[in-house]
Amino acid sequence: MSFYAHHGCFEAEQIVGTHFSVSLKLYYNAQKAIESDNIQDAVSYLDVYQVVKQEMEKPSHLIENVAWRIKQAVMQKFPAIESVIVKLSKLNPPLGGQVELVEVEL
């Protein structure tokens, strides 16, 4: 998932914003969905995206905080999910050099 958001410790990051990438690994018992081939028996990726989008819209200083909020919000909204791994990347962070990305995985 790609977002433009305002996370960072520097004032410019909070005002101007930058690009972020979010990926999730969702762990849940998908056997019913596998057998039925019915979206009602699965975790809706659209609904998961909406939860991630809401959290990405809330400015934070640290990407660790954002990743933790995403993880907690997804687990709370979808009780069927047993665990989730969130990888959050800040693209081209302003570190005074050529840096493609920084990322955290929780």
**CA dist., res. 64 & res. 70, Å (int):** 10
Q: What is the pLDDT of residues 87-104, one digit of tens each?
A: 999 998 888 889 999 999
> What's 2-105's CATH class?
alpha beta
Does the annotation count 90 as an active-site position?
Answer: yes
Q: Which residues share a beta bridge with 86?
A: 24
Amino acid at 27: Y
What values do phi and psi take at 38, rounded to 5? -120, 125
- Lowest mean pLDDT, pick from 4-18, 41-55, 79-93: 4-18
**CA dist., res. 67 & res. 88, Å (int):** 6
Q: Which residues share a beta bridge with 103?
A: 89
Q: Are 30 and 40 contacting, i.e. CB atoms less than 8 angstroms apart?
A: no
Q: Are 106 and 85 contacting, i.e. CB atoms less than 8 angstroms apart?
A: yes
The residues spanned by each domain of the chain are 2-105
* First and final C-alpha spacing in the chain: 16
* Model pLDDT, residue 13: 85
Answering whether pTM is above 0.85, one says: yes
Q: Kindly indicate the confidence band of residue 5, based on its pLDDT and cuts at 50, 70 and 90.
A: very high
Q: Kindly indicate the confidence band of residue 11, based on its pLDDT and cuts at 50, 70 and 90.
A: confident
Catalytic hit among 53, 58, 77, 90:
90
